[in-house]
Amino acid sequence: MIRILGIVGSPRRGGNTDILVERVLAGAREAGANAETVYLGGLTVKECDGCHACWQGRECTKNDDMNALYRAINDADALVLGTPVYWYAPTALMKGFVDRLVYYNCDRNRGGVRGKKAAVVVPYEEDDQATASPVVDFFVRSLRYLEMELAGTVVVGGMARKGQVLEREDALLVAAKLGQELASGRGTVKAI
C-alpha cells in the first residue's frame, strides 16, 4: 500500500493549508493509500546549523522531533507539503523544516527521498499569481536538488479568511484528484 505523508507548515490548524492538504490526503485514501498528517506547528524543529553529524551516520545533534520525521519521510512513498505565503515566502515553520532536509544531502541518506513524489499546496491572500511564485520556486528547486519529483501543485489565491478555501470547489477537486494520482503512482502538475 502506498504511504503518503502530509506536512502542514501553517501554524493555523483548520486553516486553508490544513484543509487543502487534508483534501489531497482524502483523495489518496479513496484511491487506497495510507495517508497521515504532521503539523509542524505542534513539533519542535530547531534550525539546522550545518554541523553535518547526519552525514556521518549520527542522529541530528538538535535531538528534537525531526528525528522521528526523518523516519516518517523514509517510510513514506510520497509527501504533500503545505504552506501559506507569508511575506512572499514559506512560513518559518516550513522553511525550518526544509532547512533540516540537509540531512538528505549525502549518499548515506539520499535514498530516503530520491525518486519520491511530492505535491505542493500553497494558499495565499492576494489575487496576483506572482505572489506565490517565490514559494513555488522554492519547492521546485529544493525538490529537484533532492532528486524528488514534483507531482503537482495546488496554488490558491484570494484566501484571506480562515477556511475560505471551502468556498473554492474547484481547488478542493484539484486537491482530491492530485491525491488520487499520488496514490496511483502518477501525478500531473496542476495549478489553480
Ligand X SMILES: Cc1cc2nc3c(=O)[nH]c(=O)nc-3n(C[C@H](O)[C@H](O)[C@H](O)COP(=O)(O)O)c2cc1C
Q: Which of residues 67-86 bind ligand X (CB under 6 A)?
A: 84-86
Part of the chain binding ligand X (CB under 6 A), chosen from 33-41, 102-110, 134-142, 154-162: 154-162
Q: Are 9 and 93 in contact (CB under 8 A)?
A: yes
Part of the chain binding ligand X (CB under 6 A), chosen from 47-55, 58-66, 120-128, 136-144: 120-128
Question: Applying CB under 6 A, does 180 fall inside the site for ligand X?
Answer: no
Residues counted in the chain = 192
Q: Are 39 and 97 in contact (CB under 8 A)?
A: no
Q: Which is nearer to ligand X, 2 or 136 (CB)?
A: 136
Rounded Cα gap, residues 98 and 110, in angstroms: 14
Q: Which of residues 16-45 bind ligand X (CB under 6 A)?
A: 16-18
- Which residues in this chain contact ligand X in the complex, by CB under 6 A? 10, 12, 15-18, 84-88, 123-126, 131, 159-160, 162
